[in-house]
Amino acid sequence: MSAVQQFAAEVLPGAAIAPRVGHRGRYFQVMSIVLLIIALTGFARTFFLRGLFAVPPLAPHVYVHGVLMTAWLVLLVVQTSLVAAHRTDLHRRLGIVGALLAGAVAAVALRTALGLPAHFRVDSAPNGVAMTPTGMIQIAWGNFATIALFCVFVATAIRMRQRPEAHKRLLLLASIAMVSPAIGRYVAELTRWGASTSVPLVVQALQILVAVLAIALPLTLVVHDVRTRRRLHPATAWGVLGYFLLVAAMQFGVSATAAGRALIIALQ
């Protein structure tokens, strides 16, 4: 620490810590905006701008799911912006709305996930992308994993609402889990584009970047903690570890078992 920084820390402690606190607030605000952009762009063709493309019709509950998820991500942007602006009074009031919205999001997301195998059966090439039975089963269990993570993270965040550092980390991880299907849409769109392009290596490189993005999103919280705290917050450590373990266990473990495959096939 320089002499000027030491003087500021002793004489003006509030000024000394403001940059780091501001950086912490900006991270959660920026990440909430990033997640909203991922959802808007990932589902642009099949939901938000579907009128401009030749895409299959959607069931009513899928429309409800899209609206609720969009509302959740918009609310996340509003809530993180309120905290960054030090309007925690409004943030707490909206928290009641957030809790109710989270319950609706989880219920409709589960309904949508349960109907996905039947959708794959009806349309063997959803969105113009051929789907293998193994791929369909892995996607279905991956969706169940993200919904389970969302429920656990949100429920724990509500219980720990008096501990802001844990609360906001858990809600961010819950939201990251729920935008993973939007990232999967990037892969689907790239695959569809790759089938008609003469630059397959470029498409493969972009698909690798998308896979890296899916892994990197929760890891940004790890980087943030190391930069601002010099150590991981317990919510970050357990949350990120649980995130990867559950997704891997369900998408690649449970999906490969006889029971796991039979359950998804039964849903068709």
Please tell me the pTM assigned to this model: 0.84
Give ∠ CA 40-42-47 in degrees, rounded to 5.
70
pLDDT of residue 10: 37
User: Could you tell me if 34 and 80 are in contact, meaning their C-beta atoms sit under 8 angstroms apart?
Assistant: no
pLDDT per residue over 57-82, tens digit each? 888 999 999 999 999 999 999 999 99
Q: For residues 63 and 45, what is the distance between their CA atoms, to the nearest angstrom?
A: 14
Where is pLDDT greater, at 239 or 188? Answer: 239
**pLDDT value, residue 164:** 95
CA geometry: angle 185, 187, 190, nearest 5 deg? 110
Residue 35 scores a pLDDT above 60: yes
From the CB of residue 75, how many other CB atoms can be counted at a distance below 10 Å? 18
The 10s digit of each residue's pLDDT in 93-141 is 999 999 999 999 999 999 999 988 887 765 555 555 556 788 889 889 9
Domain ranges of the chain: 10-266
Judged by DSSP in three states, 162 sits in coil
| 3 state DSSP class of 231 | coil
Give SS3 for 145: helix
Mean pLDDT of 200-217: 73
Average pLDDT over residues 33-52: 92
CA distances from 232 to 159, 225, 226, 229 (A): 20, 5, 6, 7
- The per-residue pLDDT for range 168-198, each reduced to its tens digit, is 999 999 999 999 888 888 777 766 666 566 5
